[in-house]
Structure 1
Amino acid sequence: MGVMRHQTVIIGTRGSPLALVQAHQVLRHLETLGVSARLHIIRTSGDRGHRGGVGVFVKELEEALLRGEVHLAVHSLKDMPTQQPPGLRVACVLERADPRDALVSRLGPLEHLPPHARVGCGSPRRIAQLRAIRPDLDYLPISGNVDTRLRKLESGQYDAVVLAMAGLARLQLEGRTTQVFSLAQVLPAPGQGAIALEVREGDARALRLAQDLNHWPTWWSVLAERAFLRALGGGCRVPIASYAQVQGNRLTLDGLVITPDGQTALRGQVEGRPEEAEALGTAIAQRLLAQGAGHLLGARV
């Protein structure tokens, strides 16, 4: 089912507060183009508590796209697998928000936390990099949306939690941050801070509308990051990190593979033209694999 010329565009989104903020951002962008649009909320397996596997926050949105129930699906790009199902494509990314990770703490910044302080963190990538800085802390699993995690912190279940700065900013919770980690301390997940729009192949109007919203510096950056992740065979549940940025006609990509205990890491950087984004991501992955990254990815705590 393609989008007819004057048909209202139906935007598929999860129902979490952060997902709705992101979907409303897309809605406002479309309205500035004179396009009528509305949101359609879809509950994913990740929302129902099934956190294992890849794409748990994406699958049901993609199924709705393929059935023609929605014309666009809004995703946090870092939640998306590096390969889309047949018949679907990532059509655009919006301008990226702050890609860094942040600490929200009851006991001060990371360096001031007492030994064995309980740090809530659901990401192996974050935990591994934080262990490299503070191996004496207790890193505990945490689940739920941003508000839920902050309530768990306030209730005393944790002494600190680690969250994406982009999510805090979109929810206007920047004031809650105790510390924002530098990119040298904690390199982000591929695609972190970027909102992606996914469409059906062949839906010409949906594709055109999405591409009208594309932010090209962010597009080239996340293309390189996701190519790095794909070449390493990883997903969002393994300790792989990357961050690219475009300045003028140059793209710089940093990539990191680290053991879960944070004790051994391989990090590299590559630079080239933005149009070479995917080749650059693949090249740095191959370089790290030649240095033993595959062995690091198989390591356990």
Structure 2
Amino acid sequence: MRSIKIGTRNSPLALWQAREVARNLQNNNYKTDITPIISSGDKNLTQPLYTMGITGIFTKDLDIALLHKEVDIAVHSLKDIPTQLPENLEIIAVLKRDYPQDVLVRKSTSKNKELHELKIATSSLRRRAFWAKHYPETEFFDIRGNVQTRLQKLEDQEFDATLFSLAAIERMSLSIEYEFLPIMISAPAQGVVAVTARADDADIKEYFKDVDHRETRICIDIERNFLRTLEGGCTAPIGAFAEINEKDEVRFIGRLCSLDGKQSIEIDEIFTWNDQDNFGEILGQKVLEDGGRTLMQEIKLHLQ
């Protein structure tokens, strides 16, 4: 039996995710070998992602390694994977979603400040816009790097707090205080570990049939199709989160926001899932028809 070569970014969180995929494979008696690869997004930690003009900046180098057959699979945070994958690559499995939420982490000297008083460090357009929707006077700062790097910057620099994916904190077992934020809607597919492979590698796809988590797959397909329908290849402040119960009833919440947070179009629907309808596209079209098309055009102009 072949040993499955797993490509991953070399950050502590990415390596945790790769080991989790390896554990799932080893439980089915497959051999694994983890190969860290430095991504373009990890090489430049000063420039905000939205100014770099590259789709899939954290996945591009792993895509190349896959296509060159240097690795058999690549492991990613699914929210980093563009909705349009390179030719002959596909998402062959997703692990069960664990922690989809965004959380606020303050520096020790800012514990008593009100939310509207905080200086916030985040390079995410979504997090900035969603925060500004409620606290429009907020001063924002750019921050890049892995979880540990950003925590150190939080203590060393002049801002008061930053925003993290809860998955990053919990998966790293970090003992830090955080606050849940009802004002936020997660990035599409946040909190999900995904496996990509070459579409023509039938053996690898067979190995992962029992790893792919059905309920998570249904939800992230809805979220990513919603994103694809709205985006049209443009980075924008978009949130999407779907939950499904044992009766295949789905609750979906989505939001498209202007960059400054002043305009917001939201959707909150409950429906019964089936495998014929593209619910993400249907929901995305509703937002576009409710003013989202004009808003997306304005966002694209601002980001040019």
The reply to whether TM is greater than 0.5 is: yes
Give the TM-score normalised by the residue count of structure 2. Answer: 0.91
1:152-167 mapped onto 2 (5 Å cutoff): 152-167=153-168
Distance 1:206 1:76 in 2: 20
Distance 2:268 2:31 in 1: 43
Task: Classify 1:254/1:85 alpha carbon distance in 2 versus 1 (closer, same or farther; 3 Å).
Answer: same
Distance 2:97 2:262 in 1: 31
Which residue does the alignment assign to 1:188?
186
Q: Does the alignment pair 1:17 with 2:12?
A: yes
Task: Classify 1:14/1:277 alpha carbon distance in 2 versus 1 (closer, same or farther; 3 Å).
Answer: farther
Q: Structure 1 stretch 223-232 or stretch 45-54: which is displaced more? A: 45-54
Distance 1:163 1:237 in 2: 19
Give the TM-score normalised by the residue count of structure 1. Answer: 0.91
Cα distance, 1:236 vs structure 2:
8.2
Q: Does the alignment pair 1:228 with 2:230?
A: no
The one of 227, 242, 245 equivalent to 1:247 is: 245
Structure 2: gaps (5+ residues): none
Q: Which amino acid aligns with 1:144?
A: G
Task: Classify 1:13/1:32 alpha carbon distance in 2 versus 1 (closer, same or farther; 3 Å).
Answer: same
Q: Does the Cα contact within 8 Å between 1:15 and 1:41 map onto a contact in 2? A: yes
Which residue does the alignment assign to 2:144?
143
Cα distance, 1:210 vs structure 2:
2.1
1:58-137 mapped onto 2 (5 Å cutoff): 58-106=59-107, 107-108=110-111, 112-113=114-115, 115=117, 117-137=118-138
SS of alignment partner, residue 278 of structure 2:
helix
The total of aligned residue pairs comes to 291
Q: Which amino acid aligns with 1:62?
A: D
Cα distance, 1:153 vs structure 2:
0.5
Task: Classify 1:113/1:229 alpha carbon distance in 2 versus 1 (closer, same or farther; 3 Å).
Answer: closer
Distance 1:276 1:131 in 2: 37
Q: Which amino acid aligns with 1:282?
A: E
Which residue does the alignment assign to 1:179?
179
Cα distance, 1:108 vs structure 2:
2.7
Cα distance, 1:235 vs structure 2:
5.9
The one of 36, 42, 52 equivalent to 2:37 is: 42
Distance 1:168 1:148 in 2: 13
Distance 1:120 1:230 in 2: 27
Structure 1: gaps (5+ residues): 1-5
Q: Structure 1 stretch 275-284 or stretch 157-166: which is displaced more? A: 275-284
The one of 13, 18, 21 equivalent to 1:26 is: 21
Query: Cα deviation per residue 1:175-211 (whole Å; 9 max; x = unaligned)?
Result: 31331113xx100100100010001112112111222
